[in-house]
Amino acid sequence: MTNDAPVFAPALSPQEGAEAATDLFREVFEAEPDGVWYAPGRVNIIGEHTDYNGGLALPIALPHRAHLALRRRDNRVVRLVSPQTREKVDVMDLDTIGPKGSPGEVEHWASYIAGVAWSLERDGFEDLPGFDAALVSCVPLGGGLSSSAALECSAAVAIDEVAHLGLAGPPEEPDDAGRARLVTNCVRTENEMAGAPTGGMDQSASLRCREGHALELDCRDGSVTHVPFDLAAEGLALLVIDTKAKHSLDDGQYGA
């Protein structure tokens, strides 16, 4: 038996998330962000641990998102803040990250954001600008809902736009091939900078899912099929239950 009350984490709307992230950005950096970008967490309907084994998976995107207010800088410095760390701004320089990258080189959650810039530079997008960023996320941490992938993917679409990489495409007309390339970079970030041997299902769901559809993902080649999955239209709901089991991708147990 446990006396812990169940925890329900309400989702912020895109507008609510943008306002919260913008308010935090203004408070800490005393400036206006260039914009706010977001990416969702995910639930996997079937296909656990198949992504890094080259199998099939069927995730859906959640209404819970990571919202990132970001402003481009004219140097290579990155400054990051979240509601949990508003008293301490994480500061790093992209030039100090080694070309190979390694877990722990960038500490804690900052590795999921700065690591995306590092990976994109390894992918040929050289000399990316630094940036200031404020994160507000309603994806439950450590709940198996891909909070880290949502963070990486929000950083990826933000950097893509402010650095004019031209990969993601606008939200109303996403460029799937470009987003697949961003997925590859987010996976490299998680594997090499955060030290979690994930296979790409989480990041694919965050960047490539469509509203009202599940994403049939073939992890052998990254190809996707959008499968209609509109539960609300059928009067149904998907329950996500907090089992109180702690979950971490970077503790060495994932994929073991």
Of 3.30.230.10, 3.60.15.10, 3.40.50.10330, 2.120.10.30, which CATH number belongs to 14-234? Answer: 3.30.230.10
Let me know if 202 is a catalytic residue. yes
Residues 51-70: what's their mean pLDDT? 95
- The two tokens of residue 117 are 């810039």
Residues in Cβ contact with 143 at an 8 Å cutoff, skipping those fewer than 6 apart: 242, 247
> Quick one: three-class SS letters along 162-196?
HCCCCCCCCCCCCCHHHHHHHHHHHHHHHHHHCCC
* Helix pair 147-162, 110-122: axis angle to 10 deg: 50
Q: Is 205 helix (H, G, I), strand (E, B) or coil?
A: helix
Indicate the range of 94-103, 131-140, 189-198, 222-231 predicted with least confidence: 94-103
Distance CA 195, CA 7 (A): 28
pLDDT given for residue 156 in this prediction = 99
Which tens digit of pLDDT belongs to each residue from 98-139?
A: 877 777 788 778 999 999 999 999 999 999 999 999 999 999
pLDDT given for residue 105 in this prediction = 82
Neighbouring C-alpha atoms within 13 Å toward the C-beta of 124: 4
**Which of the four pLDDT bands, split at 50, 70 and 90, describes residue 256?**
very low
Percent of the chain predicted with pLDDT > 70: 93
Which tens digit of pLDDT belongs to each residue from 238-249?
A: 888 877 776 555
What global pTM score does this model have? 0.91
Q: Which of 51, 132, 160, 202 is catalytic?
A: 202
Whether residue 222 has pLDDT greater than 90: yes
pLDDT given for residue 189 in this prediction = 95
DSSP secondary structure letter of residue 178: H
